[in-house]
Amino acid sequence: MAWYNILMKSYIVGNWKMNFAVGESSVYLHKLTERIRASRDLEIVVAPSAIALQPLSLQIDRKKLRLAAQTANPHDFGAYTGEVSFAQLRGLVDYCIIGHSERRQLFHESDKQVRLAVAAALRNNITPILCIGETSTERTFGETSDVVRDQLLGGLSEVSAEDINKVIIAYEPIWAISSTTDAHIATPDEVAEIVTFIRRTLTDTYSSSIAEAIPILYGGSVKPTNAGAYLTVPGVNGLLIGGASLIADQFIDIIDTAKKVIS
Protein backbone atom coordinates (compact mmCIF):
# COMPACT_ATOMS: atom_id res chain seq x y z
CA MET A 1 0.00 0.00 0.00
CA ALA A 2 1.28 3.50 -0.78
CA TRP A 3 2.27 5.60 2.24
CA TYR A 4 -0.51 8.13 1.66
CA ASN A 5 -3.10 5.35 1.98
CA ILE A 6 -1.74 4.71 5.44
CA LEU A 7 -1.45 8.28 6.74
CA MET A 8 -4.81 9.49 5.52
CA LYS A 9 -8.20 8.80 7.03
CA SER A 10 -10.29 6.35 5.01
CA TYR A 11 -13.94 6.81 4.08
CA ILE A 12 -16.82 4.45 3.49
CA VAL A 13 -19.75 6.40 2.07
CA GLY A 14 -23.17 4.86 1.49
CA ASN A 15 -25.27 6.63 -1.13
CA TRP A 16 -28.84 5.56 -0.42
CA LYS A 17 -30.09 7.42 -3.51
CA MET A 18 -33.94 7.66 -3.63
CA ASN A 19 -34.53 4.69 -1.33
CA PHE A 20 -36.19 4.25 2.08
CA ALA A 21 -39.08 6.23 3.54
CA VAL A 22 -38.08 8.49 6.44
CA GLY A 23 -39.12 5.90 9.05
CA GLU A 24 -37.20 3.16 7.25
CA SER A 25 -34.11 5.40 7.10
CA SER A 26 -34.33 5.91 10.82
CA VAL A 27 -34.67 2.18 11.52
CA TYR A 28 -31.76 1.40 9.20
CA LEU A 29 -29.57 4.07 10.80
CA HIS A 30 -30.38 2.62 14.21
CA LYS A 31 -29.39 -0.84 13.00
CA LEU A 32 -26.08 0.44 11.62
CA THR A 33 -25.32 2.37 14.78
CA GLU A 34 -25.83 -0.75 16.89
CA ARG A 35 -23.43 -2.76 14.76
CA ILE A 36 -20.66 -0.27 14.02
CA ARG A 37 -17.78 0.52 16.35
CA ALA A 38 -16.30 4.02 16.30
CA SER A 39 -12.90 4.29 14.64
CA ARG A 40 -10.65 7.33 14.33
CA ASP A 41 -9.09 6.17 11.07
CA LEU A 42 -12.30 5.32 9.26
CA GLU A 43 -15.14 7.75 8.64
CA ILE A 44 -18.46 6.05 7.90
CA VAL A 45 -20.87 8.33 6.07
CA VAL A 46 -24.43 7.73 4.89
CA ALA A 47 -26.30 9.85 2.37
CA PRO A 48 -30.09 9.50 2.83
CA SER A 49 -32.76 11.35 0.85
CA ALA A 50 -33.02 15.08 1.62
CA ILE A 51 -36.31 14.60 3.45
CA ALA A 52 -34.67 12.30 6.02
CA LEU A 53 -31.66 14.50 6.79
CA GLN A 54 -33.22 16.67 9.45
CA PRO A 55 -34.70 13.85 11.60
CA LEU A 56 -31.59 11.69 11.15
CA SER A 57 -29.37 14.59 12.17
CA LEU A 58 -31.08 14.46 15.58
CA GLN A 59 -30.67 10.69 15.83
CA ILE A 60 -27.16 10.14 14.51
CA ASP A 61 -24.29 9.16 16.79
CA ARG A 62 -21.54 11.33 15.27
CA LYS A 63 -18.80 9.29 16.90
CA LYS A 64 -19.81 6.38 14.67
CA LEU A 65 -21.42 7.83 11.58
CA ARG A 66 -21.75 11.07 9.67
CA LEU A 67 -24.46 12.34 7.36
CA ALA A 68 -24.10 13.46 3.75
CA ALA A 69 -26.61 15.09 1.42
CA GLN A 70 -26.84 13.67 -2.10
CA THR A 71 -26.99 17.10 -3.77
CA ALA A 72 -27.85 20.69 -2.91
CA ASN A 73 -28.41 24.01 -4.63
CA PRO A 74 -25.46 26.41 -4.72
CA HIS A 75 -27.60 29.51 -4.01
CA ASP A 76 -27.91 30.06 -0.28
CA PHE A 77 -31.57 31.26 -0.35
CA GLY A 78 -34.08 32.53 -2.91
CA ALA A 79 -36.76 31.75 -5.45
CA TYR A 80 -35.65 28.21 -6.43
CA THR A 81 -38.80 26.11 -6.07
CA GLY A 82 -38.20 22.59 -4.91
CA GLU A 83 -34.54 23.07 -4.06
CA VAL A 84 -32.61 22.68 -0.82
CA SER A 85 -29.48 24.79 -0.34
CA PHE A 86 -26.17 24.12 1.33
CA ALA A 87 -26.97 27.00 3.66
CA GLN A 88 -30.11 25.13 4.76
CA LEU A 89 -28.09 21.94 5.25
CA ARG A 90 -25.43 23.67 7.33
CA GLY A 91 -25.21 21.97 10.70
CA LEU A 92 -27.32 18.99 9.57
CA VAL A 93 -24.74 17.25 7.39
CA ASP A 94 -20.95 17.06 7.34
CA TYR A 95 -20.65 16.03 3.68
CA CYS A 96 -22.44 16.43 0.37
CA ILE A 97 -22.07 14.30 -2.75
CA ILE A 98 -21.69 16.71 -5.66
CA GLY A 99 -21.84 16.05 -9.39
CA HIS A 100 -22.92 12.43 -9.11
CA SER A 101 -23.31 11.03 -12.63
CA GLU A 102 -27.06 10.55 -12.08
CA ARG A 103 -27.33 14.27 -11.29
CA ARG A 104 -25.26 15.17 -14.34
CA GLN A 105 -27.07 12.79 -16.72
CA LEU A 106 -30.67 12.59 -15.50
CA PHE A 107 -31.02 16.11 -14.12
CA HIS A 108 -28.68 17.85 -16.57
CA GLU A 109 -26.49 19.36 -13.89
CA SER A 110 -23.91 21.43 -15.70
CA ASP A 111 -20.20 21.76 -14.95
CA LYS A 112 -20.97 25.30 -13.79
CA GLN A 113 -23.56 24.06 -11.27
CA VAL A 114 -21.10 21.48 -10.04
CA ARG A 115 -18.31 24.00 -9.46
CA LEU A 116 -20.67 26.47 -7.78
CA ALA A 117 -21.95 23.63 -5.58
CA VAL A 118 -18.42 22.69 -4.49
CA ALA A 119 -17.79 26.33 -3.51
CA ALA A 120 -21.18 26.63 -1.76
CA ALA A 121 -20.53 23.46 0.24
CA LEU A 122 -17.20 24.79 1.50
CA ARG A 123 -18.74 28.20 2.27
CA ASN A 124 -21.26 26.39 4.47
CA ASN A 125 -18.77 24.12 6.27
CA ILE A 126 -19.82 21.02 4.36
CA THR A 127 -17.17 18.75 2.84
CA PRO A 128 -17.81 18.24 -0.87
CA ILE A 129 -17.45 14.74 -2.30
CA LEU A 130 -16.87 15.67 -5.93
CA CYS A 131 -17.81 12.82 -8.28
CA ILE A 132 -16.02 12.48 -11.59
CA GLY A 133 -15.97 9.73 -14.18
CA GLU A 134 -16.31 8.85 -17.82
CA THR A 135 -19.09 7.13 -19.77
CA SER A 136 -18.43 3.89 -21.62
CA THR A 137 -18.47 5.73 -24.96
CA GLU A 138 -15.89 8.23 -23.73
CA ARG A 139 -13.71 5.33 -22.54
CA THR A 140 -14.07 3.53 -25.87
CA PHE A 141 -12.99 6.66 -27.74
CA GLY A 142 -9.95 7.13 -25.50
CA GLU A 143 -11.32 10.29 -23.87
CA THR A 144 -11.18 9.13 -20.25
CA SER A 145 -8.28 11.31 -19.13
CA ASP A 146 -9.66 14.43 -20.81
CA VAL A 147 -13.09 13.92 -19.24
CA VAL A 148 -11.69 13.16 -15.80
CA ARG A 149 -9.27 16.13 -15.94
CA ASP A 150 -11.99 18.55 -17.08
CA GLN A 151 -14.47 17.41 -14.43
CA LEU A 152 -11.80 17.48 -11.72
CA LEU A 153 -10.29 20.89 -12.48
CA GLY A 154 -13.67 22.36 -13.47
CA GLY A 155 -15.24 21.19 -10.21
CA LEU A 156 -12.37 22.65 -8.18
CA SER A 157 -12.02 25.90 -10.10
CA GLU A 158 -13.90 28.08 -7.58
CA VAL A 159 -12.09 26.61 -4.57
CA SER A 160 -9.55 28.85 -2.84
CA ALA A 161 -6.00 27.71 -2.07
CA GLU A 162 -6.82 27.44 1.66
CA ASP A 163 -9.84 25.23 1.02
CA ILE A 164 -8.45 22.87 -1.58
CA ASN A 165 -7.46 20.23 0.95
CA LYS A 166 -11.02 20.17 2.39
CA VAL A 167 -12.33 18.43 -0.72
CA ILE A 168 -12.86 14.70 -1.35
CA ILE A 169 -12.80 13.29 -4.87
CA ALA A 170 -14.80 10.20 -5.87
CA TYR A 171 -13.80 8.49 -9.10
CA GLU A 172 -16.89 6.71 -10.42
CA PRO A 173 -16.64 5.41 -13.98
CA ILE A 174 -20.25 5.67 -15.15
CA TRP A 175 -20.08 2.36 -17.04
CA ALA A 176 -19.24 0.57 -13.79
CA ILE A 177 -22.10 1.99 -11.67
CA SER A 178 -24.87 -0.41 -10.59
CA SER A 179 -23.46 -3.09 -12.84
CA THR A 180 -25.00 -6.52 -12.92
CA THR A 181 -22.30 -8.20 -14.98
CA ASP A 182 -18.59 -8.65 -14.33
CA ALA A 183 -17.88 -7.25 -17.79
CA HIS A 184 -18.92 -3.83 -16.52
CA ILE A 185 -16.97 -3.81 -13.31
CA ALA A 186 -13.76 -1.78 -13.19
CA THR A 187 -10.68 -3.85 -12.41
CA PRO A 188 -8.37 -2.65 -9.63
CA ASP A 189 -5.76 -1.94 -12.34
CA GLU A 190 -8.18 0.28 -14.25
CA VAL A 191 -8.99 2.13 -11.02
CA ALA A 192 -5.28 2.45 -10.17
CA GLU A 193 -4.51 4.01 -13.54
CA ILE A 194 -7.13 6.75 -13.20
CA VAL A 195 -6.45 7.42 -9.53
CA THR A 196 -2.77 7.89 -10.39
CA PHE A 197 -3.80 10.22 -13.21
CA ILE A 198 -6.02 12.23 -10.81
CA ARG A 199 -3.17 12.65 -8.34
CA ARG A 200 -0.76 13.61 -11.11
CA THR A 201 -3.23 16.22 -12.37
CA LEU A 202 -3.61 17.61 -8.82
CA THR A 203 0.17 17.70 -8.44
CA ASP A 204 0.63 19.56 -11.73
CA THR A 205 -2.16 22.03 -10.93
CA TYR A 206 -1.58 22.60 -7.22
CA SER A 207 1.36 20.83 -5.55
CA SER A 208 2.41 17.34 -4.59
CA SER A 209 1.59 17.97 -0.92
CA ILE A 210 -1.95 19.04 -1.85
CA ALA A 211 -2.34 16.10 -4.24
CA GLU A 212 -1.29 13.67 -1.54
CA ALA A 213 -3.60 15.21 1.08
CA ILE A 214 -6.82 14.98 -0.96
CA PRO A 215 -8.73 11.73 -0.33
CA ILE A 216 -9.77 9.86 -3.47
CA LEU A 217 -12.62 7.37 -3.21
CA TYR A 218 -13.63 4.74 -5.72
CA GLY A 219 -17.27 4.03 -6.56
CA GLY A 220 -19.02 1.70 -8.99
CA SER A 221 -20.55 -1.67 -8.10
CA VAL A 222 -18.57 -2.04 -4.90
CA LYS A 223 -19.61 -5.22 -3.07
CA PRO A 224 -18.28 -7.12 -0.06
CA THR A 225 -16.51 -9.44 -2.52
CA ASN A 226 -14.49 -6.72 -4.28
CA ALA A 227 -14.18 -3.98 -1.61
CA GLY A 228 -10.83 -5.27 -0.34
CA ALA A 229 -9.33 -5.24 -3.84
CA TYR A 230 -10.36 -1.61 -4.45
CA LEU A 231 -9.26 -0.48 -0.99
CA THR A 232 -5.76 -1.83 -1.57
CA VAL A 233 -5.32 0.06 -4.85
CA PRO A 234 -2.49 2.56 -4.17
CA GLY A 235 -3.95 6.02 -3.67
CA VAL A 236 -7.52 4.90 -2.97
CA ASN A 237 -8.71 6.22 0.39
CA GLY A 238 -12.19 4.80 0.52
CA LEU A 239 -15.34 3.78 -1.29
CA LEU A 240 -18.60 5.36 -2.43
CA ILE A 241 -21.22 2.65 -2.42
CA GLY A 242 -24.74 2.63 -3.83
CA GLY A 243 -26.61 -0.69 -4.00
CA ALA A 244 -24.57 -2.55 -1.38
CA SER A 245 -25.03 0.29 1.13
CA LEU A 246 -28.77 -0.45 1.26
CA ILE A 247 -28.25 -3.88 2.78
CA ALA A 248 -26.96 -3.73 6.35
CA ASP A 249 -25.02 -7.02 6.20
CA GLN A 250 -23.24 -5.99 3.00
CA PHE A 251 -22.47 -2.46 4.14
CA ILE A 252 -21.11 -3.70 7.47
CA ASP A 253 -19.10 -6.38 5.71
CA ILE A 254 -17.47 -3.65 3.60
CA ILE A 255 -16.78 -1.56 6.71
CA ASP A 256 -15.16 -4.58 8.37
CA THR A 257 -13.01 -5.13 5.29
CA ALA A 258 -11.94 -1.47 5.36
CA LYS A 259 -10.98 -1.78 9.02
CA LYS A 260 -8.82 -4.81 8.23
CA VAL A 261 -7.15 -3.07 5.27
CA ILE A 262 -6.24 0.04 7.25
CA SER A 263 -5.14 -1.73 10.42
With binding defined as CB under 6 A, does residue 177 bind ligand PGA? Answer: yes
Q: How far is the CB of 243 from ligand PGA (least distance, A)?
A: 3
The interface with ligand PGA within residues 86-115 (CB under 6 A) comprises none
Distance of alpha carbon 29 from alpha carbon 181, whole angstroms: 29
Reply yes or no on whether 83 is catalytic: no
Q: Which of 75, 102, 172, 184 is catalytic?
A: 172
The nearer residue to ligand PGA, 17 or 199, going by C-beta atoms, is: 17
Q: How far is the CB of 141 from ligand PGA (least distance, A)?
A: 23
Please pick, from the candidates 5, 221, 250, 257, the single residue that binds ligand PGA as defined by CB under 6 A.
221
With binding defined as CB under 6 A, does residue 242 bind ligand PGA? Answer: yes
* Complete DSSP assignment for the chain: --HHHHHS-EEEEEE-TT-S-HHHHHHHHHHHHHH----SSEEEEEE--HHHHHHHHHH--TTT-EEEES--BSSSSSS-TT--BHHHHBTTBSEEEES-HHHHHHS---HHHHHHHHHHHHHTT-EEEEEE---HHHHHTT-HHHHHHHHHHHHHTT--TTTGGG-EEEE--GGGTT--SGGGS--HHHHHHHHHHHHHHHHHHT-HHHHHHS-EEEESS--HHHHHHHHTSTT--EEEESGGGGSHHHHHHHHHHHHHHH-
With binding defined as CB under 6 A, does residue 178 bind ligand PGA? Answer: yes
Q: Which of 43, 100, 134, 138 is catalytic?
A: 100
With binding defined as CB under 6 A, does residue 219 bind ligand PGA? Answer: yes
With binding defined as CB under 6 A, does residue 240 bind ligand PGA? Answer: yes
Q: How far is the CB of 241 from ligand PGA (least distance, A)?
A: 5
Interface size with ligand PGA, residues (CB under 6 A): 13
Closest-CB residue for ligand PGA? 242
Reply yes or no on whether 108 is catalytic: no
The nearer residue to ligand PGA, 103 or 199, going by C-beta atoms, is: 103
Please pick, from the candidates 222, 231, 254, 255, the single residue that binds ligand PGA as defined by CB under 6 A.
222
Distance of alpha carbon 77 from alpha carbon 96, whole angstroms: 17
Active-site annotation, residues: 100, 172
Residue ranges binding ligand PGA (CB under 6 A)? 15, 172, 177-178, 219-222, 240-244
